[in-house]
Structure 1
Amino acid sequence: MKPLQAVEKVLHPKFKEAENDDGKKPYEIFTENHEELVKAGEKWAKDTATSYTIVGTLIITIMFAAAFTVPGGNDQSSGLPIFLHGEVFTTFLIADALSLFASATSVLIFIGILTSRYAEKDFLKSLPWTLLFGLLFLFLSVCCMIVAFCAAIIDMISRGYPNHKWSIVVLIMLLGSIPIIVLVLSQLRLMKEIIHSTWKNPIST
């Protein structure tokens, strides 16, 4: 679509409505010639959205369960979490909630991609940006999930080994950063391609 738009900008308006010997206008010819490309692009987008939807659904399941099986358990008399007033436990609750809401948002975005049909113009900005936002929310949910896990582990282990609290915190944070780095490196190329394809000049060299 971008090459077509670039040509339209320098083309005289009357040629946009010109017809060939078969009575077809330029846009109609362009659509016919790129029909298979549109189908392939739509299939790729939906296959990608399906994979991300599965990941998002798994995160929702995990974080929903984690909210009701809190680290340290609950007080038998009051039913409240034993570590309720701890700062690390508060971090766990906030990260758990953010992960759940972010993953739910990403799943809804990807479901929107799966249930929609796209025309050529949708591949310019609508579909790429929808996919990008879904990916960003999924990335946020994964990061918050790891933060929640690290907070739970730190809260439990540091109480058992108070003399080694900070060494445990540093170790857990280093280990927790590994999957985040792997995720960023694995998805950075896709995000850069989406942004580049959306904003680049189609007639630039």
Structure 2
Amino acid sequence: MIKGATLVKIFPKSFNKFTSGFWRALHYMAPTIKDIHDTKVNNKLSNLLVNRINKIVMETYDHGIVWKILGSAVATAVKYGTRELIEECIIAYPAIIWYNVDGYYLILEAIIKRQERVYNLVHQMSFHKVFVATQLYKNGNDNALHLAAKLAPPHRLTVVTGAALQMQRELQWFEEINKFVKPSYREALNGMEKTPRMVFIDEHTELLKDGQQWMKDTASSCTVVSALTITMAFAAMFTVPGGTQVDGKPLFLNYNTFMLFIISDAVALFSSSTSTLMFLGILTSRFAVDDFLYYLPKRLTIGLISLFMSIAATMIAFSATLVLVLSDKVTWIAAPLVIATGIPVYLFALLQFPLLVELVHSTYGRSIFYQQNARRLN
């Protein structure tokens, strides 16, 4: 029996043509696969290039040259968040971790630039983070927590949607750095006689206002929709399809479709009521700075999920009503109308689902500060 490897040796050209043709067809039919393939190829080639450059630089045995070349590469990588380049440079020359970028050590520059991938890498690979975080910088004015309290660069703020989630991201950074600074440094004064908390509030005043307005606008719009859903679901419960008998019992009480109508209408009423309460809780909130970390995103998440459930349940109740009313007379029109009721649910999911996913991920998902696959330095 001829094995696959033997076939490749016997028909190398045919095999190569088949492979290249297969990949071209796959790339044509699925552009996403092509993008993933190209990204992986570029990453692999970039790693080979970085390793080759590092080897050439290290073979000079000149500290000044190594420090200058690798240091400039690391400084650029911090700016753009290229953690792979930084990792290879640190492995090749561990002392580069102390390179100053604009007067700050590597981990502090990552905090200033809000590059969490770089921060996670240096945090994981080295043991000097506690020492660095407890030092004062800029002539003794600021410590690491003061730096984390300052407003992120504009291009790093826009990685999440909406001012409220941007405020949450800033609070996540501040709380992360707050974990490993000395307790005394949490209330330390800088050159402007301000604590880190005071710096954070001053720097984020405008973002806080924008976050409040964004939350209020979103909650107000959704409250109107959920209130209308409550009205319709409540009215439908007492005006059941087909009417009632003399004794007051619904005419279609023994039909399974009618039970579907009752259950879906009840779900619509309860979920829309929950949604309204959550959005009212947002509108009546004090909108303190710390509320944007967990309290407000949690209420908005529950409100959006409940609103989606209420809209979906309302459409199901409407479909059940159509089936009950039209099944005996106009059967051909019932099916298209039932299918059409899914359009509003689809549109709501299409428009609001990305925001909901981002809310759930940023509030309940994996933190932006997580363990990466990196080699640790001693």
- TM-score w.r.t. length of structure 1: 0.89
Q: Residue 218 of structure 2: which of 20, 44, 48 is its match?
A: 48
Q: Residue 233 of structure 2: which of 63, 76, 79 is its match?
A: 63
Cα distance in 2 for residues equivalent to 1:160 and 1:54: 37
Secondary structure of the residue aligned to 1:160 is coil
**Identity across the alignment (%):** 41
Cα distance in 2 for residues equivalent to 1:177 and 1:204: 42
- For 2:198, the aligned partner's letter is E
Secondary structure of the residue aligned to 1:102 is helix
Q: Residue 196 of structure 1: which of 338, 342, 361 is its match?
A: 361
List per-residue Cα deviations over 1:177-196 (Å, max 9, x = no partner): 22211111111111122123
Q: Which residue of 2 aligns with 1:152?
A: 321
Cα 1:204/1:27, change in 2 over 3 Å: farther
Q: Which residue of 2 aligns with 1:99?
A: 268
Q: Residue 35 of structure 1: which of 182, 196, 205 is its match?
A: 205
**2:282 is the alignment partner of 1:113:** yes
**2:186 is the alignment partner of 1:16:** yes
List per-residue Cα deviations over 1:65-112 (Å, max 9, x = no partner): 11111111122x212221111111111111111101110111011111
Secondary structure of the residue aligned to 1:90 is helix
- Which range moves more in the overlay, 19-28 or 79-88? 19-28
In 1, are the aligned partners of 2:322 and 2:334 still within 8 Å (CA)?
no
Cα distance in 1 for residues equivalent to 2:192 and 2:206: 21
- For 1:180, the aligned partner's letter is V
Cα distance in 2 for residues equivalent to 1:69 and 1:97: 13
Cα distance in 2 for residues equivalent to 1:17 and 1:81: 68
TM-fit CA distance, 1:145: 0.3
Q: How many residues align?
A: 200
Q: Which residue of 2 aligns with 1:185?
A: 350
TM-fit CA distance, 1:54: 0.3
- For 1:145, the aligned partner's letter is T
In 2, are the aligned partners of 1:154 and 1:172 still within 8 Å (CA)?
no
- Which range moves more in the overlay, 79-88 or 14-23? 14-23
- For 2:287, the aligned partner's letter is Y
- TM-score w.r.t. length of structure 2: 0.50
Cα distance in 2 for residues equivalent to 1:196 and 1:95: 29
- For 2:215, the aligned partner's letter is A
Residues 168-183 of structure 1 mapped to structure 2, 5 A cutoff:
170-183=335-348
For structure 1, the residue ranges without an aligned partner over 5 or more in a row are none
TM-fit CA distance, 1:197: 3.0
Cα distance in 1 for residues equivalent to 2:310 and 2:253: 23
Q: Which has the higher relative contact order, 1 or 2, with Cα contacts under 8 A spaced 6 or more apart?
A: 1
TM-fit CA distance, 1:170: 4.4
Cα distance in 2 for residues equivalent to 1:97 and 1:11: 52
Over the residues paired in the alignment, what is the CA RMSD in angstroms?
2.1
List per-residue Cα deviations over 1:6-45 (Å, max 9, x = no partner): 2223433332121124432111111111112111101110
Residues 85-96 of structure 1 mapped to structure 2, 5 A cutoff:
85-96=254-265
- Which range moves more in the overlay, 170-179 or 37-46? 170-179
For structure 2, the residue ranges without an aligned partner over 5 or more in a row are 1-170, 373-378
Q: Residue 306 of structure 2: which of 111, 116, 137 is its match?
A: 137
Secondary structure of the residue aligned to 1:74 is coil
